[in-house]
A = this chain, B = another copy of it.
Amino acid sequence: MPPLRESTDKLLSPKQVAKAIGASESSLKRWCDQGLIKTVKTAGGHRRIPVHEALRFVREQNHAVVEPHILSMTATTDRKARRIEGVAERLTEALLSNNELTCRAIVFDMFLAGESVSRIFDDVVAAAFRAIGDKWEFHEAEVYQERCSCQIMLRLLHELRSHQVPPNPSCVALGATIEGDQYVLPGTMAEIVLRSVDWDARLLGTSIPFDSMVKAVETHSPELFWLSVSFIEDEAAFIAGFHRLSAAASKTKTAIVVGGRALTSEIRTRLSYSAFCDTMRHLEEFGKTMRRQTDIASQKSRKTRKNA
């Protein structure tokens, strides 16, 4: 539990407060100069607004708060938020206490700070859910808390996704989880990571039978198909199904990418795929490289077509 002290004397810049309450920086500065908001000044003459002052102003003026997390977080929006240390722990805490605003603040602060989604997912989101899983094992967290955390995170992921630039429709990637695997978060994160490197990635959904994946591959001929494997019910069936998928993919020249904690190295030796990704960063790298190659290939084929 982070100490509550200094939550009230935390200082914000006019720009931050402006963003928090949905006004322009100019107006904020004017209101400060008019005395509507009391400010502290730095040695160099910059205005600094204590959080409690900002909150008082909001209450007195009945002003709206557009980005509440800026005013409610104790230590964030500094460049420090960029530092990974402690962020995963804070996210864990926020998820377990059902504090969606704080979760949002943590994820979006990193995103806005220019952190790649793959890093956010690997170092913060995945770490937080590992921690929640551990707590559950030691009976320090309830199943419903874990599920509820997934709900919160899924909403955040969808919001993040909606902020991404619309993908280039020329490069289609499809993804799925296998039958019996209900973990939607890893697949969704993979989708977002691939979209961040300009793939038109679409997660088909969770718990999809291999034969239906085969149909999807045959119908859409994606350049890439990713399989997120968090849980394997029947190992033999998995391997057999995977081979059928592999066969279909080789016909459509679809690259198969696999990942997920259920894929032990023992199992992996019995599969054949284009790439195995331990982390979202790996997936991002692979996605990038493959896009480059695909671009070159499509340029060539365009040239060929032009020549013909």
Chain A residues packing against B (C-beta within 8 Å):
1-5, 7-11, 22-23, 27, 31, 34, 36, 40-44, 48, 50, 61-64, 66-67, 98, 111-112, 114, 142-144, 146-148, 150-151, 154-155, 158-159, 161-163, 165, 176, 182, 202-209, 212-213, 215-216, 219
Are the C-beta atoms of A111 and B2 separated by less than 8 Å?
A: yes
Are the C-beta atoms of A147 and B208 separated by less than 8 Å?
A: yes
Q: Which residue of B lies closest to A40 (CB)?
A: B64
Distance in Å: Cβ of A158 to nearest Cβ of chain B: 5
Q: Which residues of B contact A161 (CB under 8 A)?
A: 155
Distance in Å: Cβ of A32 to nearest Cβ of chain B: 11
Are the C-beta atoms of B212 and A163 separated by less than 8 Å?
A: no
Q: Would A5 and B162 be within 8 Å (CB), given that A143-B209, A151-B203, A205-B148 are in contact?
A: yes
| Copy total for this chain | 2
Q: Would A41 and B22 be within 8 Å (CB), given that A5-B163, A142-B216, A202-B98 are in contact?
A: no
Please pick, from B66, B182, B204, B209, the residue contacting A207 in the complex, using a CB distance under 8 A: B182
Are the C-beta atoms of B204 and A144 separated by less than 8 Å?
A: yes
Q: Which residues of B contact A208 (CB under 8 A)?
A: 143-144, 147
Q: List 13 contacting pairs A-B, 8 Å CB cutoff, sorted by A.
A: A3-B163, A23-B42, A27-B43, A41-B61, A43-B61, A142-B219, A143-B209, A144-B208, A144-B212, A144-B213, A150-B205, A151-B204, A155-B161
The answer for the CA separation of A40 and B114 in the assembled complex, in Å, is: 32
Q: Would A144 and B43 be within 8 Å (CB), given that A7-B67, A112-B2, A114-B2 are in contact?
A: no
Q: Which residues of B contact A154 (CB under 8 A)?
A: 158
Q: Which residues of B contact A67 (CB under 8 A)?
A: 7
The answer for the CA separation of A66 and B165 in the assembled complex, in Å, is: 13
Distance in Å: Cβ of A69 to nearest Cβ of chain B: 11
